[in-house]
Amino acid sequence: MVFSSMIFLWVFLPVVLILGLLIRKQPYQNIILLLASLFFYAWGEPIYIILLVITIFFNWFFGLCMEKHENGKKVFLILAIVCDLGLLGFFKYFNFAMELLGGIVPSGILPHSELVLPIGISFYTFQAMSYVIDLYRGEYPAQKNFLNLALYISFFPQLIAGPIVRYIDIEKQLVNRVITSDKIASGIRRFLYGVGKKVVIANTLAVSGDQLFDLLPHQMSAGAAWVAAIFYTLQIYYDFSGYSDMAIGLGRIFGFEFPENFKYPYLSTSISEFWRRWHITLGTWFREYLYIPLGGNRKGNARTYLNLFIVFAVTGLWHGANMTFVVWGLYHGFFMIIERLGFSKVLKKCKPLAHVYAVLVFVIGWVLFRAKDLHTGLTIIKRMVLPWKYTVSSHVMTMLSVQSILALILGIIGCGILQRLCETKAGAAVAAKWKNSVAEMVFLFVILFYSMILLASGAYNPFIYFQF
């Protein structure tokens, strides 16, 4: 079940909202939200609900063992992490590992798994791991109530595609949270903006963008390659940030405050800044649980660069069992390293040029992320960086509808330009008047109504990050 589906918007969400708001006493509301979350997950993956419950149980169990057996807490931490990564590794990376080994071992010998990747496994596994790691560090006591921990790991707003929430951030909210009319209104407002991002902008961009990426690489002119890359750059931002907005809004309706996941990353003037603004909760997770434990920047420059290399290789691999993602991660890691070597000082001298540099890097990077294989991605990038060699027309304009062009314009304005205008004195005054005004309410109603029309027409709807 996805947030931008009719069944979610008109059946699941209203029922859960009514039950959750009628029964506000935390122990009982938690049970309602947990049952709703398990049903939400089972709707699309009925068999894998067992895997989710198993993950919850052994992290809860090993957490209790860590607290009870102080001398052996490291052993129980290792067991928990081995179980978490073991399940993630088997379901997500088994076939990828077999493919890599296939270059060494004769074909026909290695096994192949026909299992489908469980939705959201990368997200809920990382949440579960953060719980046991922080518990080992002594940041909080073990959660004795199995149902509370189950709700933390499986809560439906952020179960499938984040934000990745650390237990310490919502520990108190699980047992003592306040639900007010202002929070509910704010949550609904945030949710509807997320719906607009996803359905009106991302889905519309996806239709034309997919047509362009479906061209064979040798059929692409340089112009077609750049248009495809720009469309996907905006699509993935509005798709994923739209989901995050919906998740944060839904959580707020029930009294939970989730961390922000995006901070206008396309305004960045470096790749380092980009990663402080893009998928913030994932970047925080890797910093806290991989980069710093590896030594961070405390063991000299050479070790720092190695640590960055490892972190971004793993970041790419986390996104998918495909060499395109690994190379995409290393590609970003390369620019992080050269900026740390001194290029960041050059970038600070001219912010406009620094912004152009950052945009070029991440736009080209998204081609690797989107391409079906590494060869295709590199071929498209070759056309982008050598435009004078690939000038044959690909009839790009025939693949662009009026709606997609309007979505492109709105997407460019809304991913930073409008927000920068709101930071000015005049813009801030207008924004203050707009927020919670009758005009904004009408605007949000129009967004919802138009989104319903698009969804009813069977428009493109899957969330990109559901596959991770």
Domain-wise residue ranges, the chain? 6-177, 183-459
Give the relative orientation of helices 351-370 and 323-338 as an angle to the nearest 10 degrees. 160
Catalytic residue, chosen from 112, 218, 319, 332, is 319
Going by C-alpha positions, the residue among 444, 167, 284, 132 that lies closest to residue 158 is 167
Q: Looking up tokens 């699309």, which residue turns up?
A: 44
The 8-class DSSP code of residue 298 comes to S
Q: What is the rounded distance in angstroms from the CA atom of residue 359 to the CA atom of residue 213? A: 20
Mean pLDDT calculated for residue range 312-317: 95
- For 398-421, the pLDDT digits (tens) are 778 889 999 999 999 998 888 888
Q: 0.85 exceeded by the pTM?
A: yes
* pLDDT value at 370 more than 80: yes
| Choice between 93 and 201, residue whose per-residue pLDDT is larger | 201
pLDDT reported for residue 449: 92
- For 107-157, the pLDDT digits (tens) are 567 677 777 888 889 999 999 999 999 999 999 999 999 999 999 999 999
Whether the Cβ atoms of residue 37 and residue 119 lie closer than 8 Å to each other:
no
Whether the Cβ atoms of residue 317 and residue 326 lie closer than 8 Å to each other:
yes
In the residue annotation, 112 being an active-site residue is answered as: no
Q: What is the rounded distance in angstroms from the CA atom of residue 218 to the CA atom of residue 373? A: 15
